[in-house]
Structure 1
Amino acid sequence: MEMVFDIRKATNRDGDQVATLIAEVFADYPGCIFDRAGEFPELDAIADDFSADHGCIWVVEGHGRVLGCLGIKFDPAQKQAELHKVYLDRATRGQGVAQRMLTKALDWLAQTHPDCADLVLWTDTRFEAGHRFYEKCGFTRTGETRILDDLSASSEYRFKARPNDVLLRIT
């Protein structure tokens, strides 16, 4: 049976379900620890958090629960957007849902911030399937890495693309 998904802008009320989703994704990766209060306080007002940074976040709903999320924030001074909170439930992967979320975010970015020159993201070095997805969509690894001061001792890779190049690759 094919699942039916609804992609919509997140509201602050979605924070608890987004937290559950992230915790489930982290559980798939050894050493990834989800600490909502300590490391994800923005989930308490997630839509406001993205809006404050000239951004927006979307959620994917299916069967009455949040199965995915993808957010984007924009820095007007740098003319740069950054993807954040890109998570998808394991059972939902491989069905084109991530591409649909990314397309929706890029369409919003083009309408809201047409002067955006670059699109970047940081992703945990352990999230190899995510790396393949980003590369398939036209992102390239910049060679930059960073280590976060978090409970998971996360190390991340930086990816970069031109917004129009990504949109052309996924549509």
Structure 2
Amino acid sequence: MHIDPDHLAIRPATDADGNAVAHLIAGVFAEYDGCPFVFDEFPELVAPASHFAAHGGALFLLVTAADRVVGSVGYSRPEPGVAELHKLYLVKELRGRGLAGRLFSEVTAALAGSDVGAIRLWTDTRFESGHRFYERLGFRRQPTTRFLADATNAWEYAYRLDLGGDAPAP
């Protein structure tokens, strides 16, 4: 299906969007060997808007004119002064067009004027193009990794973007 990048919009997620976000993530995971998507390992997708709101954040979706979800990004506020980036995914057809940057801008706009001094994230070590994207935004890989004992058996890198202020280290 052809997606017209000139007719896309970003909107807040609703709780009804969980299956569409799951479909988006499953499509991205399918691009990588040994990276299966198992819905049960993403309980936040049962009611994504409520989940992110309960954690001090939000989930934003990039949608077509027909409201098909083709991108996502979310954030939470796990502790004072820190935001954590989640679910930054984009269908393959739309990558390299600045749309992931637009999604990330939704997060920074939502955090503007808050006490957030740093944004952190975890990313699968296999998602190399994602690492390059985060580094272009100014994120720095941290000396910490973690193992996910889930269907993906993934190792993840920690990244951090300092915005200023007195945010604690991850």
TM-score, normalization: structure 2? 0.90
Tell me if the contact between 2:9 and 2:65 (Cα under 8 Å) persists in the aligned partners. no
1:148 is aligned to: 148
Is the helix fraction higher in 1 or 2? 1
* Structure 1 portions without partners, runs of 5+: 165-171
Aligned residues: 160
Give the TM-score taking structure 1 as reference length. Answer: 0.89
- In 2 relative to 1, CA 2–150 (structure 1 residues): closer, same or farther, beyond 3 Å? closer
Deviations 1:33-78 (A, max 9, x none): 10002x012111000000000001100001521000000001344x
In structure 2, stretches of 5+ residues that fail to align are: 165-170
Match of 2:111 in 1: 109
Identity %: 44
CA distance in 1, matches of 2:73, 2:141: 19
Answer yes or no: is 1:33 the counterpart of 2:36: yes
> How big is the alpha-carbon RMSD for the aligned residues of Structure 1 and Structure 2?
1.3
**How far apart, CA to CA, are the structure 2 residues paired with 1:11 and 1:144?**
33
State whether residues 119 and 162 of structure 1, in contact with CA within 8 Å, keep that contact through their aligned partners in structure 2.
yes
State the distance in 1 between where 2:8 and 2:163 align. Answer: 25
How far did residue 117 of structure 1 move? 1.5
For 1:157, the aligned partner's letter is: Y
Aligned to 1:9: 12
Contact 1:70 1:85 in 2 (8 A): yes
Asked if 1 retains the 8 angstrom alpha-carbon contact of 2:15 and 2:48, the reply is yes
